[in-house]
Amino acid sequence: MPSYNKNFELTVEDMELIEDALRTTKRSLNTVVIDQDADPLRPCENTREVDASMKRINDLLGRLHNQKNFYRPKSGAYIGG
């Protein structure tokens, strides 16, 4: 039985592309939800599926964000901007 590859070789550009694609998908799903809310006569059969998909995308974007190493100077005080 095959096993999963646990080591990925992705560049920073690859990660940006993945994050952009996830944000675009999330934006389009959000548009679907807003359109359904705007028309009360339209059935909302897939609202739960859309909500579940948006939750999965948010969770994945959060995990990707938490794996980033942000720049901090080694000496001196860090002044964020």
Q: Read off the pLDDT of residues 36-48 as tens digits, 9 standing for 90 and up.
A: 776 766 666 677 8
Q: How many domains does the chain have?
A: 1
Task: Tell me the mean pLDDT in the region 9-15.
Answer: 90
Q: Is residue 46 part of a domain?
A: yes
Range of the domain at 44: 12-66
- 4 has pLDDT over 70: yes
* Helix ranges, 1-81 (H): 12-38, 47-66
Q: Is residue 1 part of a domain?
A: no
Token pair for 73: 């100077």
Mean predicted lDDT score pLDDT of the chain: 84
CB atoms < 10 A from the CB of 22, how many?
16
Confidence band of 79 (pLDDT split at 50, 70, 90): confident
Q: Is residue 72 part of a domain?
A: no
* Cα–Cα distance measured from residue 24 to residue 54, given in angstroms and rounded to the nearest whole number: 11
* Cα–Cα distance measured from residue 61 to residue 54, given in angstroms and rounded to the nearest whole number: 10
Confidence band of 26 (pLDDT split at 50, 70, 90): very high
Q: Is residue 76 part of a domain?
A: no
Side-chain-side CA neighbours of 54 within 13 Å: the count stands at 14
Q: Is residue 79 part of a domain?
A: no
Q: What is the pLDDT of residue 42?
A: 65
